Structure 1
């Protein structure tokens, strides 16, 4: 009697089958990881405008977003972390997730704000958060002319560019600056002595 042997399954057919199972498993794992990441998203604060150093941090300046930060979750401020009496320890840019290190107690802040009138025009790209230099040209003893300009305070932050009125409306601007408290006396002395003050953006002269 002649026995008809069954055809053997091709080796490559078995390999393709195993590969198919592996791809399905990888796909399922990927979907599971995405869903797990979504489930572990944490609500954190995101700035809705630029907040300069020393400025009070209030709830209206933030929105709550859900972000999957993994092990970095504790490094960022959650909604319940925004307490009264907190100020920005540095400039927080609009759209930035707020790290804990960007918040400080108001009593510990070394910065304050002061308004100066710049006798020169302010470039259009200078706004809240811009780092500038404050220059002065001291008034000479005769009271008729000014000495050569020199830097009064370096690396100060613009809090706000204000609308000027009166004689300086066409030639200069009033600017709110965030400065170190240690520099306040020197700046006030320059203002009261009649020095000509100018705001110069960092790098403007390069």
Structure 2
């Protein structure tokens, strides 16, 4: 054993809080922990956003009760969607269809005067393809009555109209079923279409898979 000048065994020096090496080590550990916490926190950063509780169709009034809240990770695009923090516009309606469970884009909700299409009723007696559902696109053909108690040549009056709602009903005396559709019609198309319906025109609906949604 090495002895000091007094003959006592050499003792290891106790570390001092003033030792710069100790302070640097502590800072490095704290920085490492902070980096890991920031990385984990950033990877799991979710925010509450609205999703449609049920399918929202164009023209349907909406309020906070129309939505459920889920936590999602959207990053820089979260400003494009409605969240519980946002105030809905006055007299809010859906201006685009939002399927059940989907995030609610800001562009899907507006005031009543923002609607450029309005729902109009169409009743058809022919069976419809199973693809004709809410949100699908159809061509609406109209045949006006002629002078011989028949019908004129059918005319494509509403190309690519969006289906906003549909219901089936039984006809009287078991004669079959009719289907009533609500299709979205622009203001420019509305007068001619309503005039045809008022004149008891025959209406046929054809599924149009190629129409833009």
After TM superposition, is the score higher than 0.5? yes
Matches within 5 A, 1:153-192: 153-167=158-172, 170-192=176-198
SS in structure 1 at match of 2:189? helix
1:136 alignment partner, one of 125, 135, 142: 142
Residues 1:64 and 2:64 aligned together: no
Matches within 5 A, 1:96-115: 96-115=102-121
Deviation at 1:84, TM superposition (A): 4.1
Matches within 5 A, 1:60-99: 60-79=65-84, 80-99=86-105
Deviation at 1:171, TM superposition (A): 4.9
Deviation at 1:109, TM superposition (A): 1.4
Which structure carries more helix by proportion? 1
Gaps of at least 5 residues in structure 2 are 1-31
Gaps of at least 5 residues in structure 1 are 1-25
Deviation at 1:53, TM superposition (A): 2.5
Residues 1:50 and 2:55 aligned together: yes
Q: Render the CA deviation track for 1:38-57: whole Å, top value 9, x for unaligned.
A: 3x322111123322233222
Residue of structure 2 equivalent to 1:196: 202
Residue of structure 2 equivalent to 1:16: none
Deviation at 1:194, TM superposition (A): 1.7
Give the Cα–Cα distance (whole angstroms) in 2 for the partners of residues 43 and 169 of structure 1. Answer: 51
Give the Cα–Cα distance (whole angstroms) in 2 for the partners of residues 58 and 123 of structure 1. Answer: 33
SS in structure 2 at match of 1:164? strand
Give the Cα–Cα distance (whole angstroms) in 2 for the partners of residues 169 and 111 of structure 1. Answer: 34
1:126 alignment partner, one of 129, 132, 151: 132
Change (3 A) 1:164 1:91: same
Change (3 A) 1:175 1:29: same
Larger radius of gyration: 2
Give the Cα–Cα distance (whole angstroms) in 1 for the partners of residues 170 and 79 of structure 2. Answer: 47
Change (3 A) 1:124 1:59: farther
Give the Cα–Cα distance (whole angstroms) in 2 for the partners of residues 199 and 31 of structure 1. Answer: 59
SS in structure 1 at match of 2:150? coil
- Kindly report the root-mean-square deviation, in angstroms, between the aligned alpha carbons of the 2 structures: 2.7
